A and B are shown apart, each in its own frame.
Chain A
Amino acid sequence: MSTSAIRSVPGLALLTAGLMGSALVLALIVVPEDADQGISQRIFYIHVPIALTAYFCFGLGAWKALLLLWRGEERHDLESYVAIHQGTIFGALTLITGSIWAKASWGRWWLWSEDQLVLFLVLFLFYCAYFMLRFSLEDGPRRARSSAVYALFGVVLIPVSFLAIRLAEDLIHPTVFTRDGPQMSGSMFATFCVAWGAVTLLAYVLYRVELAGKRLDADLRDLREALP
């Protein structure tokens, strides 16, 4: 990463902080309370953007993995790893915020009938195994390729698992929990969009910071090896 690219990170971080602050103000104070679910619905403006961002990170990680296998450029390995790392962090946050929402709405911390939560649990386990795989292999092209193949399996697993969980839900819970909330009003949708933008930007800044740190680490190691 060039120095000019690193210099843009503090500015981006400042922008993220501003956007995140306004998203919180909008979500907690400005937007009217949901008639049906009350105050607990406000977590929606954080929970759903985090979940979408996690998907986005997993997708980005798989895309970088595909580029690595396709073009054979080594830098994509670190990019794929960092994207999946961010995705796993946001995935864990999704599980936590989803649990809180479930507790507030239905009085239970965990509901197996919530497709999205179960899917995130499966994905969370899958991507934790990704890290186990990565840390048990020796640094080198073989590790990069094995990790990339596993990351690609992840994006294929998402729709297949979703289908399976949907089917399993009919099996285990004959009565499906439907959540036909009222149509989202304009101000709600606007708040949601601001929050989504803020979380996506946050993920991007974290991605850039972690990538810069990891690259610095690798450069330092190379330098140390080069010195007698």
Chain B
Amino acid sequence: MTYLADVAALTRKDLRVELRAGDTLPAMLLFVLSTLVVFHFALPEGTGDDAAYGLLWVAIVFAALLGLARAWVPEQEHGVLDALVLAPSDRSAIWLGKTLATLAFLAAAQVVALPAFILFFAPLDLTAIAGVLLADIGICAVGSLMAAMASAGRSRELLLPLLVLPLAIPLIVGGVGAAISPESERYLLLLALYDGVFAVLSWASFEYVVTEHSS
């Protein structure tokens, strides 16, 4: 139970920092809305809805990357990550807390972005929205680990998209498939499989990424 309490405390900390500073969420929101407007002009007249669904996924992935790039910045600035690693809790709780906070930001951005997409482009059915939610989980789980890895590097903003995009390809396949394929269950299954496998892998390997010495 203490594990869950730790996770809740860490998530709450991130949400509170965001509420007070407002660094990430407004940027994500504005980014996703401007991207949708850019897409309207990028798509030739009469392209059809299928192309728009594909572009929605580009917008979602890049908005998530924007949020993830900021994810560990507060921890980096004042050496908070070192303090968290020293704290008497399981290190994977730090990853889970960060994943949940990023997921909350991404979901909040989508609460505005998805209705805007429906208004501007094409309708979304329930399976498409389920696909978005499942893909959010996967991209936040993998992304918060990758962002922690990249944050130690010299060129972290540059590195993060390079690390995450190849890993996000199955998510995009699943998300687009859930939106446009008649057999959308298979794509939802793929997304669920991805989430399960990569969440466990990220959860298990986070400790190795943030600690300096073998313990």
CB contacts (< 8 Å) of B180 on chain A: these are 171
A residues within 8 A CB of B174?
164, 167
A contact residues around B208 at 8 Å (CB): 69, 145-146, 148-149
Tell me whether B166 and A157 are in contact (CB under 8 A): yes
Selected interface stretch from A13-21, A30-38, A131-139, A213-221 = A131-139
**Min CB distance, B42 to chain A, in Å?**
20
Query: Does B96 sit within 8 A of A, measured CB to CB?
Result: no
9 intermolecular pairs with C-beta atoms under 8 Å apart: A129-B163, A146-B209, A149-B205, A149-B208, A150-B163, A156-B198, A160-B194, A168-B176, A170-B181
User: Given that A148-B208, A164-B190, A167-B177 are known contacts, is A141 also in contact with B214, CB under 8 Å in the complex?
Assistant: yes
CB neighbours of A145 from chain B (8 A) = 208-209, 211
What's the Cα separation between A137 and B150 when bound, in Å?
8
Are B212's CB and A142's CB within 8 A? yes
Complex interface residues of chain B between 167 and 181 (CB less than 8 A to chain A): 167, 169-170, 173-174, 176-177, 180-181
Q: Which B residues lie within 8 Å of A171 (CB)?
A: 173, 176-177, 180-181
Nearest to A125 among chain B residues (CB) is B166
For the residues of A in contact with B, the DSSP-based class is helix
Interface majority SS on B: helix, strand, loop or mixed? helix
CB-CB under 8 A from A150, the residues of chain B are 149, 163
Category for how many chain A residues contact B: 20 to 34
Determine the distance from Cα of A157 to Cα of B177 in the docked complex, in whole angstroms.
19
Q: Indicate if the CB atoms of B197 and A136 lie closer than 8 Å.
A: no
Q: Flag if A142 contacts B152 (CB, 8 Å).
A: yes
Known: A160-B194, A160-B197. A167 touches B187 (CB 8 A): yes
CB <8 Å contact, B201 and A132: no
Scoring A125, A140, A152, A171 by chain B CB atoms within 10 A of each residue's CB, the highest score goes to A171
> Does residue A99 face the partner (Cβ distance < 8 Å to B)?
no
State whether the Cβ of A102 lies closer than 8 Å to any Cβ in chain B: no
Report Cα–Cα, A142/B212, bound state, in Å.
5
B40 → chain A, closest Cβ, in Å?
Answer: 24
Q: How far is the CB of A2 from chain B (nearest CB, A)?
A: 25
CB–CB B170/A146 < 8 A: no
12 more A-B contacts (CB under 8 A) besides A128-B162, A150-B149? A125-B165, A133-B149, A133-B159, A133-B163, A136-B153, A142-B152, A146-B149, A153-B142, A160-B194, A163-B170, A164-B174, A167-B186
Contacts of A163 in B (CB 8 A): 170, 190, 193
What distance in Å separates the Cβ of A113 from its nearest Cβ neighbour in chain B? 14
In-complex Cβ contact of A160 among B177, B181, B193 (8 A):
B193
CB-CB under 8 A for A157 and B167, given A133-B159, A165-B173, A171-B177: yes
Cα distance, A76 to B177, chains bound together (Å): 40
B54 to chain A, nearest CB (A): 10
Q: A164 touching B152 by the CB < 8 A rule?
A: no
Check if B213 is an interface residue, CB within 8 A of chain A.
yes
Q: How far is the CA of A25 from the CA of B118 in the complex (A)?
A: 62
* Nearest Cβ on chain A to B147's Cβ, whole angstroms: 12
Knowing A72-B214, A136-B159, the reply to whether A126 touches B167 (Cβ < 8 A) is: yes
A-B interface, 5 closest residue pairs, ranked by CB to CB distance from nearest: A136-B153, A164-B170, A126-B166, A72-B214, A164-B173
Residues of B within 8 A of A104 (CB): none
Contact with B along A143-187 (1 / 0, CB 8 A): 001101110110011001101110110110000000000000000
Of A123, A126, A140, A152, which one neighbours B201 at CB under 8 angstroms? A152
Please report the C-alpha to C-alpha distance between residue A140 and residue B212 in the assembled complex, in whole angstroms.
Answer: 9
A153–B206 alpha-carbon span in the complex (Å): 12
Instruction: Please tell me if B155 contacts chain A, counting CB pairs below 8 Å.
Output: yes
